[in-house]
Structure 1
Amino acid sequence: MTLVDRLVAPGASRGEIATSFGAAVVGAALALVLTVRADLPALAVLVVALVGFDLFGGAVVNATASAKRWHHRPGRTRWHHLAFVAVHVQPFLLALVVPGFSWLMAATSYGAALVAAVLVVFTPPPLRRPVAFALTALALVAVTSLTTAPAALAWFAPLLLVKLLLAHLMPEEASR
């Protein structure tokens, strides 16, 4: 398996690869500019740029047909999907290195993503998409209303939820 297969998906088209890496690079650059303008420490700038690369690129990757085929292939269970969500510990990494990104923000964004993911994967398949959208909307309001991220990271929790709940957990639907 090549690096592109691991970062995007096996069998990804050139367009999917270009779009995914384009979003990742532009997102990392945007995160870099925002954190430099916020005068964050160098380590925080580096970590936020890497997290930006992962989340901006990952939201696009997880929405591609090739990634949907890969992540939802035969033999993949709800536990695989929950593990994918659970390993996204970036909120705690940010709390560790970014001044003003609180542990409460980390726990709230991580917990909201994980609880919503559990609810989505245990929802009957015909209702998963609307339930995922409902829970994403509710989690967005909860995270952004109950906690405060530094302005340079206001994008983080919404993008984490989109990447994990709307892009990753939703299988590809057949064309009509």
Structure 2
Amino acid sequence: MRVDWRIPQPRPGLAGAVDRFFGPGRSRRENLTETAAHLLVLALLAAYVIRQAGGENWSVVEVVVTAVIAVDLVGGVLTNATNPAKRWYHRPGRRNPRLGFVAAHLAYPVVVALLPAAGADLAWLVANAALLVAAAVVIEFAAVEVKRLLAVALYLAAVLINLTWLPVAAAYAWFPLFFYLKLLVCFLVPEAPLVRANLTGSAREQR
């Protein structure tokens, strides 16, 4: 294996749009692994939600919205943990777009607060919006050698704050775990993009 910061050119057409979202240069093994992991985690999460919801009658809107949120957060955690995504989203000049991407996710707490099944309120919404923005800014502008450490620490803090002082319905207790993991740990932390070396290649850093 070797570290390679060189970004492959996105493919033309629709495939290029996919590359610009997931990061160009994904291998078939990465695609298969992510797909399998996505299906596994979603199945386990669905089992958890159904078990915790008990006999509550959720509306069709609540079921659909919850499913969309779950698919996006699980997929976001997995995608942003891949080497192509790390290389793509942490290429030079991406600082402001990264914070914009995080800010766009403030829509999720808003939506969750509007779902009766989630049991969240205005205080929960305001607190989580403040936690996300503050943590994202701290991580983004921190020195590179402490970004991962800060991200993990702030992730744990955000989750524990939610569990202790910002409780929601049991069927939605998973939300802060996936929400902050996707954005703070998986998305904002730059990591070396490892690629398979050829038979004559040696481990070296290209940056």
Pair 1:7–1:109, CA change in 2 (3 A): same
Equivalents in 2 of 1:21, 1:104: separation in Å? Answer: 36
User: Taking structure 1 as reference, are residues 169 and 146 closer, same or farther at Cα in structure 2, changes over 3 Å only?
Assistant: same
Structure 2 equivalent of residue 110 of structure 1: 129
> Higher relative CO (CA 8 A, sep ≥ 6), structure 1 or 2?
2
Matched position secondary structure for 2:135: helix
- Percent sequence identity is 34
C-alpha change, 1:156 and 1:6, in structure 2 (3 Å) is farther
Unpaired runs of 5+ in structure 2?
1-13, 195-202
Partner of 1:145: 164
Shift of 1:87: 0.5
Q: CA deviation at 1:28?
A: 4.2
Give, in angstroms, the shift of residue 26 of structure 1.
4.0
Gaps of 5+ in 1: none
Shift of 1:108: 2.4
Contact map agreement 2:84 2:193 (CA 8 A) in 1: no
State TM-score, norm by structure 1.
0.86
Which deviations, in whole Å up to 9, do the C-alpha atoms of 1:109-130 show, x marking residues without a partner? 3321221010111111111111
In structure 1, the residue matched to 2:90 is 72
**C-alpha separation between the residues in 2 aligned to 1:55 and 1:142?**
20
Confirm or deny: 8 A CA contact 2:109 2:129 kept in the other structure. Answer: yes
Query: Which structure has the larger Rg over C-alpha atoms?
Result: 2
1:15: how far off?
A: 2.5
Match of 1:18 in 2: 32
TM-score (structure 2 length as normaliser): 0.75
The structure in which a higher percent of residues are helix is 1
Contact preservation (8 Å) 2:86, 2:190: yes
Q: CA RMSD in A?
A: 2.3
| Deviating more after overlay: 21-30 vs 65-74 | 21-30
Distance 1:96 1:117 in 2: 24
Q: Which amino acid aligns with 1:96?
A: L
Q: Which amino acid aligns with 1:134?
A: A
C-alpha spacing 1:44/1:29, structure 2 compared with 1 (3 Å): farther
Aligned residues: 175
Choose which of 96, 108, 111 in structure 2 pairs with 1:90: 108
The Cα of 1:51 is off from its aligned counterpart by 0.4
Is the alpha carbon distance of 1:32 and 1:134 closer, same or farther for their aligned partners in structure 2, counting shifts above 3 Å? Answer: closer
Match of 1:42 in 2: 60
